[in-house]
Copies of this chain bind each other. A is one copy, B any other.
Amino acid sequence: MLTVETLQSLAKPGENRETRQPTKSVLLVLDGLGDLPHPEYGFRTALEAASRSHLDQLAKEGVCGLLDPVAPGITPGSGPGHFALFGYDPLAVNVGRGVPEALGSGFNLQPSDLAIRGNFCSVFRENERIADRRAHRPSDERCAHLCGLLQQVSLGQAAVYVQPVSEHRFLLVLRGQGFSPELTETDPQTLHVPIPEARPLRPTARLTAEVVNAFAQRAYEVLQPETVIGGNGAAYPEERYGVLLRGYGKYPSLTTLPEIYGIRCGCVATHPMYKGVALLVGMDLLGDAHQLSEQLAVLEEYWDGYDFFFVHVKYTDKAGEDGDFLRKAAVISEVDALLPRIRALDPDVLVVTGDHSTPALLKSHSWHPVPVVLWSRHCGRDRVEEFTEAACAGGALGRFRGLELMPQIMANAGRLEKFGA
């Protein structure tokens, strides 16, 4: 197996053969890119339905394939999908989602902290069973207000930090000693059941389970007087608020991309989760973009200062999760139209792919492999002429594991020495 140590031993500075400048690589990730033929849209995938002239040109000039972010048949979460794209084995690096969310939203996470992803939910006052797992999606303002109340909770064994994320989502950090993330989640993923307690998965997590359950109980009490109000302003007087806790995680110790390859890495993302993963692998967060065109402006602005850029497009996944086939195709078309701005920067390596598939037909992440195109001046050639799932199946990259992408990017960037004599 190709280990981090082997890659590290092979890493070298990469230089463009003509300009003698350090080589630059761009990894453009369209979240949830992979799709399935949709019966209501002529049995095309969103990628097939999109305007793709620039992507197809890249496929003609580059080499294509299909990647399995985690393993064939495994549906990846966003964290594992991205760790794989950055060259880490997601089966080995399993970081609870609370960690990248905390880092990505600017929280100064300490190694002993337990980071937790929280959702406000609502339960029926009558029987204390879950009425809505998202508390009718409160407004961001209401979320901030409720988080203010949670911040009043004090626990003997931990300092409590609560931060609103958006709608029903918040971030909880418990600061103390001896915490373990090996607990069951308190989100039962279903309705009309009581909110379960966290249970330790190992004896060493018993204390943590007690603290987490104490927090949930105190949160339930401080939220008691509040009327449940949905995002549309409707009140639900028969319900009261609760919290569901999941994605427990602690700061992992990873050898970062700068440490492995000696590259300066920049992240151009719009959402905390992806920024958080980028920070964990040693990237700088660049700019403060909210839309794709702004992201490209950030890329252009920081072009000279970095060797590797991760550009994350969130809205393909959102459209897929919503089952909105046409919007997913439209986001891809928008990316296609902006691709020339990336090519105009003259990167040495350009890769377009996704972190997993999110077929609009399924309205969820899925196990299907993700199309990928890799272009460099010396990438070789195949017979793929369009950037679609079916065409990529016949490409020179073959079907491969996500973690095998990064060494190929670095090789194309001239940043890996020969192995052995």
Contact = CB atoms under 8 A, between A and B. Distances in A.
Interface of A: 1-3, 6, 10, 36-37, 45, 63, 65-66, 70-80, 90-91, 94, 96-97, 117, 246-247, 359, 361-362, 364-369, 378, 380-383, 389-391, 393-400, 404, 406-412, 416-421
A259 B191 CA distance: 27
B421 A76 contact: no
A154 to B, nearest CB: 28
A417 B420 CA distance: 34
A75 B383 contact: no
Nearest to A249: B421
Nearest to A247: B421
A393 B393 contact: no
A419 to B, nearest CB: 5
Contacts of A65: 399
A394 B394 contact: yes
A171 to B, nearest CB: 13
B37 A407 contact: no
* Copy count, this protein chain: 2
B389 A419 contact: no
Interface of A is mostly: loop
B75 A417 contact: yes
10 contacts: A2-B74, A72-B407, A75-B411, A79-B421, A364-B418, A389-B396, A390-B396, A393-B396, A397-B399, A399-B399
A246 B418 CA distance: 14
Nearest to A383: B390
A78 B421 contact: yes
Contact of A75 (B90, B393, B419): B419
A290 to B, nearest CB: 23
